[in-house]
Amino acid sequence: MPQGIQVFNADGTPRVDTTTRLSRVIAIIYVGGGSSGSYTNAGFLTGTPFGLFIPASGGAHYVSISFSGSTLYWSKTQNAYPTTGNIVAFVY
């Protein structure tokens, strides 16, 4: 008997099964007042990495996030409102 997980929509069609790629949080990285930085974690090599910046306060916040190998890089754009927050880094 096969093992794994399957989740179905109300109409009975599969929504998630063992062949679906699901995301996994690798790190939550605090971004302080500086304009740029980096974070290295071998977990970024285990899938396709992506990141999401969550500001600690309201307003327009522009943070560029990129990856190279096992390192996440971030930089605040020139017109970014000075802010702190977190980058949630995932792989899928």
* Sign of the Cα pseudo-torsion (44, 21, 64, 84, in order): negative
* Token pair 């327009």 in the structure block, residue: 60
Nearest CA to 91 out of 32, 45, 52 is that of: 45
Strand partners, 36: 75
- Asked whether the beta carbons of 49 and 66 are under 8 A apart, the reply is no
pTM for the structure as a whole: 0.74
Query: Tens of pLDDT along 21-36?
Result: 778 999 999 988 777 8
Query: Tens of pLDDT along 53-74?
Result: 988 876 667 789 999 999 999 9
